[in-house]
Amino acid sequence: MGRPIRIIGIDPGLRRTGWGLIDVDGNRLIHVACGSVATSDKAALAARLVELHDGLARVMEQFSPQEAAVEATFVNKDATATLKLGQARGIAMLIPARAGIAVAEYAPNLVKKTIIGAGHGEKEQIRAMLRVLLPKADPPSHDAADALAIAVCHAHHRQSYVLRTKVQSASG
């Protein structure tokens, strides 16, 4: 076998952006670290985006992942909240992209289906399955747990993502 691949999963949010890192060694998934970058509700939007940027940049520098995955934005009824989430998501995609890493995107339902076997489920179900898949992981927040789930989802779907990316590059 080759060397393990380090994957960062990112769960974007303006209040808290979760991050989770795993190593994939063959079929083994190994927990590396997880956490979240929090911002103050009282700070200006631009300052909050800088906090997210700087926090994720530190994580990237410290752990040097080779692949990245971000949860795709779902649209809700509050257009302002959706726009702010989109801005946080832009930061979450920018940081790995600036490091030269392609960023895979996964819909929330696909992440849940990959982890718990169904496209809808509670946060506690995700945490329970993460305890099975990554026994040494103890995410400090739901955002960190979701980020680990996104990384695991990418680990399971990365071969098809890599093939899709190569086909798109060849035809583009």
146 classed as catalytic: no
Among 23, 51, 67, 71, the active-site one is 71
The partner residues of 70 in beta bridges, in order of sequence, read 10, 105
11 classed as catalytic: yes
Q: How many residues does the chain have?
A: 172
Nearest Cα neighbor of 22 from 157, 166, 169, 153 is 153
Spatial distance between the Cα atoms of 9 and 22, rounded to a whole number of angstroms: 8
Phi, psi of 154 (to 5 degrees): -65, -40
Spatial distance between the Cα atoms of 103 and 63, rounded to a whole number of angstroms: 16
Among 23, 51, 67, 143, the active-site one is 143
Tell me, what amino acid is at 113? K
Among 11, 23, 67, 146, the active-site one is 11
Q: Known catalytic residues?
A: 11, 71, 143
